[in-house]
Structure 1
Amino acid sequence: MTVTYNAEVATVRGLGCFLKLLARWRGSIYKLVWMDLILFLTIYYSLNVTYRYILDESGKHVFESMVIYCKDYVNLIPLSFVLGFYVSVIMTRWWNQYTSIPHPDPLAVFVSATVHGQDERGRVMRRTIMRYVCCCVTMIFTMISPRVKKRFPTLDHFVEAGLLQQSERDIIGDLDKKFPKYPKHWLPIVWASSIVTRARKEGRIRDDFAVKTLVDELNKFRGQCGILLQYDHINIPLVYTQLFIVILLRIL
């Protein structure tokens, strides 16, 4: 979860506001790397003590040759370029992940504006469409967020929360048994599309353009959910992360 600090910067008075940010512990780089830093310093000073007080002259000569060899080859790596490239990739990926999070609110506006009817059936149709949309995004979050997975560990918890009915839970459960490796988040969107088609046949949607708008929005919502899965399944190549760690150790 992102740790925000905008309010502190906006309301600060006097000098040193950004120096205070450097001293923050929660969400800081110090909290992230302090154990690795301790390990690095331990190894560094162990080698230092070994070189100064334990090795003889021949051992010191071999040690110095290894240091010079490593230094010459490390200088061949364009540290600033690789570091800037990695940070750029990380920040772009982080922001794209945030902007790809699907929100049901625009769909709720479209459903409320296009699916007409003040009777009980019209209200049930609108609520069912939005229930399927919320069910879809919740299923996605259970696959990428441990906290949401803890809240909804099984499909029975979706039924208890009112996101699924028992018959719908049985359908998804049967699909999970037949195709266990594939996500089923798209199925509630298919059900929502069928309700849109039924509402058009019953005259609750005035024209085909409104139907197309609703279906396009449902497909867009499903596509954003799929993008979140792709971000979760496809990581930044490990070689970039490993090279970044080597560069940090080199700078330290």
Structure 2
Amino acid sequence: MTVSYTLEVADAKFGGFSKLLFRWKGSIYRLLYKEFLMFCGLYIFFSVFYRFLLTPKQQDLFERIALYCDQFTNTSFIPVLFVLGFYVTLAFNRWWGQYTSFPLPDNLMMAVSGNVHGTDERGRLLRRTLMRYANLSSVLILRSISTRVHKRFPTLEHIVESGFMTSLELKKFESHHSDFNKYWMPLTWFANLASRAREEGRVRDDIALRLLMDELNNYRAKCSLLFHYDWISIPLVYTQVVTAAVYSFFGFCLIGRQFLNPAKGYKNHQLDMYVPVFTLLQFFFYTGWLKVGELIINPFGEDDDDFETNQLIDRNIEVSMLAVDDMYQNLPPTLKDKHWEQKHFSVPYTLSTAVETLRPAFKGSTYDMRMSAEDLEIHQPEDAPLDAQCLPLKGSVGNGLDKLLQRGKGAFRGGSLPSLIDSNEDYEGDADAEGMDVCALPPEAGISTTKQERALISIAVHHAQ
């Protein structure tokens, strides 16, 4: 069964991910412990062999070999990181692509339920048969790529016994010979039966039939993609290169990372610790990375984190039959909703979520952006004769500046924007060097009437004579 820990990491907290390190099912420990124990056993064997079973002359030879092997493990002669990183990335993209290619009948069953009409037995039979053909096709394709599904349906007779196919349909299926996988045949039956429903008037127009065919083709395309994912794998040569690189690297580490006699003064061998802690960690990380690639390269097996294909089959047939049969034209009564008489209403919160109502709604990253007076001026070509007139600020700009004034932000600290604009009728501002009139503020507003401050309240609209 797929191991899910999504709820445990819903909130980022101290030690959140650390708790996951102690889980066994689906863990890297369960996947890697055999290789790890084998590596430790081989390392101990070479250590005991070097320390107690070799003569001094033989120990000198072993030490020279160890130094030579260590030279290669500490350099980039074996590009383990590069080949592993690229391989796991490629395998993960392939794994996610296979998951998104899984044929789910949801869109197809909605199209069938909404476009194949009839409350009589014939209408019900058409809708159920159409969805049974769709689910039969997915069972056939999953049976050919998933070990779990193949064990569940080892023969076509098991599929007949489960109700996905009738005995007559099995005979028809086997009567058509093909050297290739015939998972697409039930979908062909679906297309022909939908055309017959159109002739009978169960599908009321060609647009509805076209919708059924489009959803059918999307469903078929996903079945086909799964088949090709199973057929065309990551090239074997690359898998061999990655495996050989990792295994050869740690094969050299078995000898090259041995602790040599400190009395002989070898470089980086001044301490004899017996246990190669960092080498063991390196083995755990690198080999664990390789095992992750092996795990996700084919998610249709029986590993802990492989896809639950049998449960998906059960889910698909159940919801598709529910949608096209029990729920067909079976609607709840259409009633006025709870907020029918309210023009503005808010959905209630629980006590644990009420604090969210205090947060302001997001209106855009530039909503509270500050601008200088020069940024508010409208620029026109200098050679055109211009006049100026006051442009009332309305809508979001006026409201935004009004709120700015009320909060005491910017250069102004009093009055509301509409009152400041209206009062401009009794006050005449100065004319600038270009002959443009700018609306000014009255002295009683209590605001400094410099040119920049007046420009923030009114925008000069220039037009050619």
Sort the TM-score into its range (normalised by shorter chain): 0.7 to 0.9
Provide, for residues 1-53 of structure 1, a one-character-per-residue CA deviation record: whole Å limited to 9, x for no partner. 431111223379x7322211111111000000101111111111111111222
Equivalent residue number for residue 218 of structure 1:
216
Equivalent residue number for residue 184 of structure 1:
182
Provide, for residues 121-172 of structure 1, a one-character-per-residue CA deviation record: whole Å limited to 9, x for no partner. 2221111110000111111221222222222221112222221111111122
Alignment of 1:66-145 (within 5 A): 66-74=65-73, 75-145=76-146
When structure 1 is superposed on structure 2, of 81-90 and 25-34 the one drifting more is: 81-90
Equivalent residue number for residue 58 of structure 2:
59
Alpha-carbon RMSD: 2.4
Q: In structure 2, give the amino acid aligned to 1:8.
A: E
1:81–1:241 Cα change, 3 Å: closer
1:22–1:241 Cα change, 3 Å: same
Equivalent residue number for residue 44 of structure 2:
45
1:182–1:61 Cα change, 3 Å: farther
- Partners of 1:42 and 1:94 lie apart in 2 by 34
Equivalent residue number for residue 5 of structure 1:
5
- SS of 1:93 mapped into structure 2: helix
1:56–1:126 Cα change, 3 Å: same
**2:109–2:131 CA contact under 8 A, matched in 1:** yes
- Partners of 2:218 and 2:248 lie apart in 1 by 40
When structure 1 is superposed on structure 2, of 210-219 and 35-44 the one drifting more is: 210-219
Equivalent residue number for residue 272 of structure 2:
none
Equivalent residue number for residue 30 of structure 2:
31
1:67–1:213 Cα change, 3 Å: farther
Give the superposition deviation at 1:206.
2.7
- Partners of 2:223 and 2:164 lie apart in 1 by 17
- Runs of 4+ aligned residues of structure 1 deviating over 6 Å after TM superposition are none
Give the superposition deviation at 1:81.
2.4
Q: Does residue 159 of structure 1 match 2:163?
A: no
Of Structure 1 and Structure 2, the greater helix share is in 1
Equivalent residue number for residue 227 of structure 1:
225
1:33–1:105 Cα change, 3 Å: same
Equivalent residue number for residue 21 of structure 1:
20
Give the superposition deviation at 1:108.
0.3
Give the superposition deviation at 1:73.
4.3
When structure 1 is superposed on structure 2, of 84-93 and 190-199 the one drifting more is: 84-93
1:76–1:128 Cα change, 3 Å: same
**1:115–1:204 CA contact under 8 A, matched in 2:** yes
- Partners of 2:207 and 2:71 lie apart in 1 by 67
- Partners of 2:200 and 2:245 lie apart in 1 by 60
1:99–1:42 Cα change, 3 Å: same
- Partners of 2:248 and 2:81 lie apart in 1 by 9
- Partners of 1:29 and 1:221 lie apart in 2 by 35
- SS of 1:16 mapped into structure 2: coil
Q: In structure 1, give the amino acid aligned to 2:247.
A: V
When structure 1 is superposed on structure 2, of 82-91 and 240-249 the one drifting more is: 240-249
- Residue-pair matches, total: 248
**1:86–1:244 CA contact under 8 A, matched in 2:** no
- Partners of 1:244 and 1:108 lie apart in 2 by 49
- Partners of 1:77 and 1:241 lie apart in 2 by 10
Equivalent residue number for residue 199 of structure 1:
197
**1:104–1:134 CA contact under 8 A, matched in 2:** yes
Q: Flag the structure with larger Rg.
A: 2
- Partners of 1:45 and 1:86 lie apart in 2 by 31
1:194–1:66 Cα change, 3 Å: farther
Structure 1 length-normalised TM: 0.87
- Partners of 2:245 and 2:193 lie apart in 1 by 50
Q: In structure 1, give the amino acid aligned to 2:156.
A: L
1:107–1:241 Cα change, 3 Å: farther
1:69–1:214 Cα change, 3 Å: farther
Give the superposition deviation at 1:86.
2.0
Give the superposition deviation at 1:174.
3.7
- Partners of 1:131 and 1:21 lie apart in 2 by 41
1:35–1:182 Cα change, 3 Å: same
- SS of 2:14 mapped into structure 1: coil
Provide, for residues 93-112 of structure 1, a one-character-per-residue CA deviation record: whole Å limited to 9, x for no partner. 22111111110111000111
Alignment of 1:228-247 (within 5 A): 228-236=226-234, 237=236, 238-243=239-244, 245-246=246-247
